[in-house]
Structures are given as C-alpha cells and as structure tokens.
Amino acid sequence: MIRLFVRLLLTALAFAFLLPLIPGIDFHGNMTAAFIMAIMFAIMSWVVDIVAVLLSALMTIGSLGMALLWLIPLWILGFWLLPAVALILVSDTMPSYLSVHGWIPAAIGGLVMLVIGALTSSVPRET
C-alpha cells in the first residue's frame, strides 16, 4: 500500500514539476489535478500494456510463432514508447489539464515516467 502511494506521489510530482520542464508538454492545474493525472496515467499505462500484450499474443498465435522473430526485437527496442502512448492518451482524455504537442515530447516524458516506475518498483516491500 505504501509502495502504491509513493508511486502515485512521485508520478503526481512529475506531472506538476518535471513534465512542464519538457518543451512541448504543458500542465495546467494544482496538486489535486496532478494526483488525478497520476491515477489516470496508471490506468492508461495498464490499458496500453494489456493491449500491447494481447496484440503480440494474437500475432504470435496467428503466425504460428513466426512473428516472434520481429516482435522480440521490437519489444526490446520499443518498450520505452509504451509510457509515451499512455501519456498521449492521458492528454487526450484530460486536455484541460495536460497537453502534449507531438511524439518527441511524449517520448521524453514517457522516459521520465519509466524512470519513476523503475525507481518505485525497486522500493523494498514492508512485511
């Protein structure tokens, strides 16, 4: 539970303070809006991950495994684009609070969110 709160807090702080530093990303709101954006980003990231896994599974099954020849390198090289897609979906869902102008700022913002996710996933669990 504490890990989830820390992740939401860091994501909200990133929405409020880090992402507006990237040219092409604008955040208009207060800390409450940042928390709502963090929750929306978590939901959109989950949806994007599920859709990517389902599409990969369908392509792999449909091609009897031959799609893995290009899906595995694609996953290795492109896993950092999934948070960028989630960030664009959040900006499309809540345009009055967040606007992302283009894929390059989205990719840079996605990298920021990916680093935050990697840092918070390494937080030790309490027993």
Three-class SS state of 25: strand
Range of lowest pLDDT (9-13, 36-40, 79-83, 110-114): 79-83
- For residue 33, being part of any structural domain is answered with yes
Domain count, the chain: 1
Three-class SS state of 48: helix
pTM of the predicted structure, to 2 decimals? 0.86
What residues make up the domain containing 51?
2-121
Range 27-35 average pLDDT: 92
The kind and range of the H/E element at 27 are strand 25-27
- Tell me: pLDDT of 123 over 70: no
- For residue 126, being part of any structural domain is answered with no
